[in-house]
Amino acid sequence: MRWLRGNEGLTALLFLWPSLAGFAVFFLIPFGMGFYYSLMDSPVDGSFVGIENYRELLGNPIFRRAAVNTSLFMAICVPLNMLIALGLAMLLNRKLPMRQTFRISFLSPLVVPVASVVLVWNALFDLHGTINAWLAGWGIRPHDWMESEASLYVLIIVYLWKNIGYNMILFLAGLQNIPNDYYEAASMDGAGKFRQWRSITLVYLTPTAFFVFIMSMINSFKMFRETYLIAGNYPDENIYMLQHYMNNMFKSLDYQKLTSAAFLMAVVIVLLVLTLFVVERRISKSIG
């Protein structure tokens, strides 16, 4: 026991092994098995085919459409989410009436069950829903929001409504960690509000912004639940995402396409996150 207490690395490993074992059983081993199946022509008594499944997957127009939709959704939602969250955080960082109430209200979407959220959005955007009833009252023809190009914008609104509050709190915490002395010194040197915002606020919010970007990107891949509950297995082609494709491959027991698509998506996410971490470290060193 004395030897274990003296060896801090081994002691830490003993405390960590339950979590490591759970991670290996529920994540690492299944991921390895999925990669193995992606190289076989059948999950039962199959033969090795190498990257043939990946070639077939990349040549599939449905998969390419799902990949384009997922990339487009992420490219629109993540920057827009960060800009709105930063603007709200800067607004609520000032002394405003009912500031605490606004902070809590923006976090309410995080605690509302997904099923309840879906019922509300269905009631709003259904062909016979509330918005179409308002349009009909103004003499405007009702629009089928979820079966047209507008479905992408509906999904973007749902994503922003759900995630802006969480990112706003993160930005607000980052803003409150910036010392006021920096702004006072810059003001004495003649720097205006915009120059202070550009040279102080944005610079010292860089670590927070990278974290928010990563979380926003990951959350954009989690919009499958809402999309699935709102539009079903086969929604409009504008919101048919990679998760829809993998879910449908699972239902049809096509494990080769399922595992290949899952592995490709995982590789892309890991590469993006690693690239962001490298960039964040370099920027943090330059700030330091």
Domains of the chain and any CATH numbers? 1-28 (no CATH), 38-287 (1.10.3720.10)
276 burial type by CB count under 10 A (0-12 exposed, 13-18 middle, 19+ buried): middle
Joined tokens for residue 185:
């010194």
199, HSE (Cβ side, Cα atoms, 13 Å): 12
- DSSP line for 65-105: HHHHHHHHHHHHHHHHHHHHHHHHHHHHTS--TTHHHHHHH
Give the integer Cα–Cα distance in Å for 272 and 277.
9
CB neighbours of residue 101 within 10 Å: 9
pTM of the model: 0.79
User: Tens place of pLDDT for every residue, the chain, 288 residues?
Assistant: 555 555 676 777 788 888 888 888 888 888 888 888 888 877 777 788 878 888 888 888 988 888 898 888 888 999 999 999 998 888 888 777 777 777 777 777 777 777 777 777 777 777 777 887 888 778 777 777 777 777 888 888 888 888 888 888 889 888 888 888 888 788 887 777 788 787 778 888 888 888 888 888 888 887 777 777 777 777 778 888 888 888 888 888 788 888 888 888 888 888 888 888 887 787 777 665
Question: How long is the chain?
Answer: 288
